Structure 1
């Protein structure tokens, strides 16, 4: 039996990809001018940059509905 990928997984994956790509695009655009991260200490900047895609992925997965699974029956 073929397994179906849940909508939640699809949306969360798309959100992670788009967010990461967007962050990389912004950072590439301000490559020589790093004022975007200037207010943050150097030790915290990587943490903040890695949290943004994770938080948006979480939000997309939370918001998306589950794919119906009639094969599991009612509980």
Structure 2
């Protein structure tokens, strides 16, 4: 059984950053009561979409991106 390679630190960092930013956006969206963009969705689903979609997109794009080849030690 082949073990998949570990997730690189840059992918984890990008995902965490996007998650934190999306939480800030969710709070601002709630506080400002400016929900016109996601108005068709119920409030709880707006928070879920804002919190989870950006990190998911960031993670998937980081995962699919070409990574710098590692130089193996001699």
TM-score (norm 1): 0.59
Secondary structure, counterpart of 1:41 in structure 2: coil
Partner residue, 1:3? none
Count of residues paired in the alignment: 64
Q: Does 1:37 align with 2:38?
A: yes
Which structure has more RCO (C-alpha within 8 Å, separation ≥ 6)?
Answer: 1
Moved over 4 A (4+): none
Matched, 1:17 2:19: no
Gaps of 5+ in 2: 1-5
CA deviation map 1:20-71 (0-9, x unaligned): 0010011111223151421x4338643x342321111111122251552636
When the two chains are superposed, the root-mean-square deviation of aligned CA atoms in Å is 3.0
1:57 aligns with 2:59: yes
TM-score, scaled to structure 2: 0.59
